[in-house]
Each structure stands twice: as structure tokens, then as C-alpha cells.
Amino acid sequence: MAFESISAAKDAKNDEFYTQLVDIQLELNNYTDKFKDKIVFCNCDDSFESNFVKYFLMNFNRLGLKELIATGYKRSSVVGKEIGEANMPYILRVTDTHKYLVGTQKDLDVAGARYFLQSEKSRIMTPLIGNEAIDDDGNKIYVTVKETTIDENGKTRKKNVKKELYYEAGDFRSDMCITLLKEADIVVTNPPFSLFREFLTTLMKYEKKFLIIGNINCITYKEVFPLLKNNKIWLGNGMSRKISGFIVPEYYGLYGTEANINKKGERIVSTNNALWLTNLDHAKRHQMLPLDLGFTYRNHEDMYPTYDNYKAINVDKTNQIPCDYKGLMGVPITFLDVFCPEQFEIIGLSSKDGSTDVPRFFDNEHYNGYTRGKVVTGMESNLPILNVKGKGGTLCKKEGCKDLYQLYWRIFIRYTKEYINSHPEIFNNEEEDNG
């Protein structure tokens, strides 16, 4: 499955997933007013490969860019063969002084962008260098790696070895790339899956505007969720099918029923678990869920059971959020696709390890002495538990059994007070505000 392929890439640090131009165009078209007189930095993008670079070259005039900067970690194997040679990591810098771009009223097409890269590379590209990793106090950074050796008996031995961390040329953490980052106004890229947490942390450290791609599970990361909760970052114009698929190298397996090779010969792995993450405002973010969805808590209480281990009602689907409930609601993480901060506030997240910046929803003491059934496993985790007859799974104690069902992650939300007060005709029930 595509999900498995992306997860495998993360584990293996195989980060060669390239975004299709059509997906970039669909998302970037929602932010065209954000780029005028701005320096855009694509800091995980080989210019001969990246469709992000092509997009900004093609739309340089229309967006009114001040400058486009791109840095590539290494030459990759996906589409570079068709464009030209670039045997070392480099910096691409295109400014409004390049008359090829701004001397005409029309923007470039894909072929024009490719020709520009070929013909102008000696003037717009300079080599990158790497450096040893130094922390903020000037101390060397060390990492532990596993080294494999074969002894005199032919047996494989693995041991942990402490080594100095070195940033290869083009690594977004290297000194040269950080200097460029400080210059930039907006970062737009598909960062390495294996380094997503560190990448986002770096952007926040330098207070940069950004539009990046991540796996849907990044919502639950301790480095990400508190930012979502506090409205410092949010989703772009959609998750799931809003990103139709990624271009992968020739050696990469075509996983999933929707994997294919397109007319250009590109190998595409489709996915339904990617999303855009940003701190650029957009119209969709302020679109409220309509109140006429047909779901109410009043007279439908059985549809919204409370958790056995937390005082909130469960909502199985985002489109079933009751329009008249003032208390806490547990909703799937896909809720963030329709989250409007004027309508809802985020209270917390249930997490497998409880590591996110949220309350502990699980009461270990409450379940001491119980044995775990086939469905209800890992009861030490911080996940919501439903007590629902016939739902599946049991959690048993000597004196009897309870029908329990352990759910996947839930985001806990409630309507804002401002929203409730502005709709007295809806919120006229007197149920307890359990938050």
C-alpha cells in the first residue's frame, strides 16, 4: 500500500519522493497574493529535478517574486536525465534582474523553465559546501550509528559507534543553507520524510512562513500538534486526495493498486495520507461547518457515547459533529481538514505515548487488575476507550466483564464561546459543559 511505502521510506531514510507539478499548482493557486516582493526558498530541491522550482520559474512574473532560491542535497535519479548535468550540490538564485524572466509579459512554460535552467546555469548556480555540525553553544554534535563488521569466524557483528555529525553540502541544516533560510521570506518544499520533525522545528526557530508537505501522522507528533492546537500552524487546502501521488525513482517499487507510470515515463505512487502544512492564511481555513448537517446531540444521545476514561462524547466521523453540543467532543484527526478557529477550539489529543502537549486521558489505576481482550490491547497507552455493548473487545476483571473498545487517536474539541453566543437558537440546551 502507498501508506506502507511512505512509512518504509521514513524508516529507511529513503526520501526520494517528488511532488507532481499538478499537485503543486492546485495548492499554490490558493496563495498567489502571498508572494509579491518575497524571497522564496525551496531548500530541499534539486533545481533540475524539482517541480517546485519549475512552478516558481513558470510563475515568477505572475506572483511578483523578488527572488527564488533553491538548494539541492544531491543529484537524484527521477527526472534529471532529461535536463542537463549538475554533478554537485549547488545554490540556484534567480532574481528580478534576470531579464529572461521579467523582460516579457508572459510567464514561462515547463519547456521554457527547463531551457532557462540549462542556458543560465553558469550565471545562476554556485556550488554548496558542507560543514561539521555545531550546536548553539559552539560544541560539536555527535550521533550514534550502528556499524556492521564480520569477525574472523565469518559472523556478523553490530555495534554502536559515536561519530561527529557532518552536514553534507545542500543539507537544510548546513551553515550555507541556514544563511539562505535567514534571507528568505517563505519556504515551499516537500521535506525529507525522515527529517520532518527537525525540518519543521528549524522553520519555527527562524520564524519563517512556509508551505510544506507531510504525512498525515505528523499531526500527532509532539513537535507538531501543540503548534496546531495554538493556531501557529494549520493545514493547507486539504489532505488525502489533494495530493494525487509522488514521483519515485526507478528502483522503487510501485506499491498499491493506483501506482502507475504516466505518459512522461514517471513512476507514480498514489497516496491518501499526505497533507499540506502551512502558516500562510487562506480562505478555506475560515470556512465554518454548516449548521444544517442534520446531526444533533439532542434526541440522539445514543449516537454519541461517552468515553470510559475521559469525560467527552465520541464522534466517529467529522461530518457527524453535532451542531448543538457545547461540551467536549472526540473527533478523528481528519477533523483538521475542516477546522475553523472561529468556530472550534482544540483542547487536546489522545496519543499512544501521551507525549504530546495535552492532558493524560488514560487512568492507569482505573484498569488495574483487568486482563486485556483480543481487541482491547495496549491498555497502558493514552487512547480513548468506549464502553459500548456489541462494539467489540472485552476488558475483564475477576468479578465480571465490561464491553470496551479502544479507539484510534482522537482530537478533543468544542465550539468556541463566541460561536455559541452568536447562535443562541441552536445552543439553547442545558447539558453540562464538561470541559
Residue range 338-355, pLDDT digits in tens: 999 999 999 888 765 444
CATH number of 2-130+170-283: 3.30.200, 2.40.128, 3.40.50, 1.10.10?
A: 3.40.50
Tell me the average confidence (pLDDT) per consecutive run of 10 residues in the chain, 435 residues long.
39 61 91 96 87 91 92 56 54 74 60 79 84 89 84 82 90 95 97 91 97 89 91 85 69 67 74 87 93 82 81 88 92 91 92 48 51 44 57 47 65 94 80 49
Q: What is the pLDDT of residue 405?
A: 61
Q: What is the pLDDT of residue 122?
A: 77
Cα dist from 410 to 19, 225, 374, whole Å = 29, 12, 21
What are the residue boundaries of the structural domains of the chain, listed by start?
A: 2-130+170-283, 132-167, 301-421
3-state SS class at 269: strand
**Residue 40: φ, ψ to 5°:** -100, 135
Of the candidates 408, 401, 341, 347, the residue with the CA atom closest to the CA atom of residue 381: 408
CA distance 374 to 37: 59
Q: CA neighbours within 13 Å on the CB side: how many for 27?
A: 33
CA distance 36 to 396: 62
Q: What is the pLDDT of residue 155?
A: 83
Q: What is the pLDDT of residue 245?
A: 72
**Cell numbers standing for residue 141:** 554534535
CA distance 67 to 242: 28
Q: What is the pLDDT of residue 15?
A: 55
Q: What is the pLDDT of residue 93?
A: 92
Q: What is the pLDDT of residue 42?
A: 96
Q: What is the pLDDT of residue 114?
A: 78
Q: What is the pLDDT of residue 75?
A: 55
Is-contact 48 84, C-beta < 8 A? yes
Q: What is the pLDDT of residue 280?
A: 98
Of the candidates 333, 334, 270, 351, the residue with the CA atom closest to the CA atom of residue 6: 270
Single-letter amino acid code for the residue at 281: D
Q: CA neighbours within 13 Å on the CB side: how many for 418?
A: 6
Is-contact 237 32, C-beta < 8 A? no
Residue range 199-221, pLDDT digits in tens: 999 999 999 999 999 888 888 88
